Structures are given as structure tokens and as C-alpha cells.
Chain A
Amino acid sequence: EAGVTQFPSHSVIEKGQTVTLRCDPISGHDNLYWYRRVMGKEIKFLLHFVKESKQDESGMPNNRFLAERTGGTYSTLKVQPAELEDSGVYFCASSPTSSYNEQFFGPGTRLTVL
């Protein structure tokens, strides 16, 4: 069974540009999460989808971040316009409805904003 996949693995952009990160969860997992780790700090929650609906988006830093999950399958996280402080590793995780919180993580996308 394929795990959580994320694309791209690395992205280097300039301040002011737009970047879109993609996450493909494990097939059949209703729950999809986005997290971010800024260098040396803790991994912080961004938001949680249940199928195509946003269950909790309390961790989204500001309105420059837009997450979607069309059809309840893969998800995208767009940053527009990117700022220097957006640099970090963005993790996606998924879990089935009955998983009691065990989340399966992808390898992350390393975003560098210059």
C-alpha cells in the first residue's frame, strides 16, 4: 500500500512568488492534515480536512495560505505571495476515521523563500 506522498520534495522561490504544494493521502483515509516545521522549532499544526471539508483551520498563519481538498482526495496548499518566514518543511499526514489519532506522515516538502 502506498504511503502519503508529497510533491515537490523541494521548492525554492523568491519572495512574492506563489507556490503550490500537493499531498496525496493514503487511499481511503478521510482525515488529512497539514503541518509545518520552521527550522529548529516544533512541528506546528496548520489545518485538518475531513474528506473535502475543513474541520479545523486554527493553525493557518494568515490569509496568504489557502488549502483545498477537492473531492476529498488529494490536497493542495498554496502560499501567495510567499514571504521569507514561510520557509520550512511542510508535512502532510492522513488517517482513517477509526484510527484513534495515529497519523501517517509524508516525507514533507522543503520550502525555501529567498
Chain B
Amino acid sequence: AQKVTQAQTEISVVEKEDVTLDCVYETRDTTYYLFWYKQPPSGELVFLIRRNSFDEQNEISGRYSWNFQKSTSSFNFTITASQVVDSAVYFCALSEVPGTASKLTFGTGTRLQVTL
């Protein structure tokens, strides 16, 4: 069975601080996808990134970066120089069978509060 663990329930930082959101996953599949979604106060889940299990290269997109390490089954998300607009709930997710449509297994989410 697949499982995603986000041990940090809530994180509070001051604007401009860097923050890392942890994600640890379990799966018996050798091929899978990992995702991060953002849920702002408006409620919808916004897709941030998808990572194939064969690609362990870290990715950077502006102030966002992701560190995928298969050896520790982790897919951590770092926001550099956080801003108030980054305040949201962030979900890590896992899906099996890349290339076909399949369900996502989510973690419980980490609520990030960025204050001035």
C-alpha cells in the first residue's frame, strides 16, 4: 500500500526566511510519480510539481526548489525568501503507474503561515 507522511502539521515563519516542508513516502512500486500541491485560502488545489521516480535531479523554479532522494524516500520542498502570499496548506502526493491516469495518495498537509 502507498503512504505519504507529512510530519509537520503547521509551520510559522517570518517573511524572507527560508522554509522546508518535509515529505516521506512509502510504495512498493518501482515506478511512480510524486507531486506537490498548494491549497491557498480560496480552497482549490494548485499543482506545483510532478517528479518521475526515475529522475532524482533536484528542481528549482524561482523561489521554489524540490529535493528528491530515493535512498530516504523523501521529496522535500523548500521555499526561499518566503513571502506572505506563500501562506497556504501544502500537500505532497504519490501516484502509481506513470503514463496512465490513476489516483493520488496524499499526505495530511502542512499549513505554512508566513508573517511580516
Binding site for B on A (CB under 8 A): 3-4, 30-31, 33, 35, 40-45, 48, 50, 55-56, 59, 89, 91, 93, 95, 97, 99-108
Contacts and interface: CB of A to CB of B under 8 A. Distances in A.
A73 to B, nearest CB: 17
B24 interface: no
Interface residues of B, number: 26
Contact of A107 (B43, B98, B109): B43
Contacts of A101: 33, 35, 50, 95, 98, 100-102, 104
Contacts of B44: 3-4, 105-108
Instruction: With a 10 A CB-CB cut-off, give which of A4, A30, A35, A43 has the most chain B CB atoms.
Output: A43
A103 to B, nearest CB: 6
Contacts of A42: 4, 106-109
A41 B108 contact: yes
26 contacts: A4-B44, A30-B101, A33-B103, A33-B104, A35-B104, A35-B106, A40-B108, A41-B108, A42-B106, A42-B109, A43-B104, A43-B106, A48-B102, A48-B103, A56-B102, A56-B103, A59-B103, A93-B45, A95-B101, A99-B101, A101-B35, A101-B50, A101-B100, A101-B102, A106-B44, A107-B42
A77 to B, nearest CB: 15
Contacts of A35: 104, 106
Q: Which 9 A-B pairs rank lowest in CB-CB distance, beginning with the nearest?
A: A105-B45, A43-B106, A45-B103, A107-B43, A107-B44, A31-B101, A42-B108, A42-B106, A101-B95
Interface in B72-116: 91, 93, 95, 98-109
B104 A103 contact: yes
A35 B35 CA distance: 16
B50 A91 contact: no
Contact of B37 (A3, A44, A95, A105): A105
Instruction: With a 10 A CB-CB cut-off, give which of B101, B104, B109 has the most chain A CB atoms.
Output: B101
